[in-house]
Amino acid sequence: MAKKIDGYIKLQVPAGAANPSPPIGPALGQRGVNIMEFCKAFNAKTTELEKNMPIPTVITVYSDKSFTFVTKTPPASFYLKKAAGLAKGGTEPGRTVAATVTMAQCREIAEAKMVDLNAVDLDQAQKIIAGSARSMGFEVTE
């Protein structure tokens, strides 16, 4: 018989840097999950990724206090800021241009994020990433 699911916890955890401090500790502690066990498993799974890359994680907590987790690709905003060489997006999107990204860069990001995007083909995924760039105050050029 399958285990009964107690709930889901969605967190954005830095790759290879999970520790019991907030926000991880309190979120897992409320559900009675072994915090150190999650931290060790997550860090082991994300060792090959760039250090401190934000990784969206969905933790499934079962009624016997065991858990499983699924990691997703980093947010598009992380890749776009990296491509533009900035620490953050524009302060006034639509009014001022914070940086410029090319459609080729958007295509690379779309290829990396394709599994998590709601798109059928790569051209549509590229348009999604370009829209994210515009909403961050970046100019998208050919």
Q: Tokens at residue 109, please?
A: 């990001």
Tens of pLDDT, residues 93-106: 888 898 999 999 99
Q: Is the pLDDT of residue 37 over 90?
A: yes
What 81-85 contacts at long range (C-beta under 8 Å, 24+ apart), as own/partner pairs, is: 81/136, 83/108, 83/109, 84/138
Q: How many domains does the chain have?
A: 2
**Percent of the chain topping pLDDT 70:** 99
The answer on 33 and 65 residing in a single domain is yes
Q: Tokens at residue 127, please?
A: 């348009």
**Percent of the chain topping pLDDT 90:** 79
List the CATH number of the domain containing 51: 3.30.1550.10
Tell whether pTM > 0.85: yes
The answer on 62 and 9 residing in a single domain is yes
The answer on 134 and 96 residing in a single domain is yes
The answer on 92 and 66 residing in a single domain is no
List the CATH number of the domain containing 107: 1.10.10.250
Q: Which domain holds residue 50?
A: 5-71
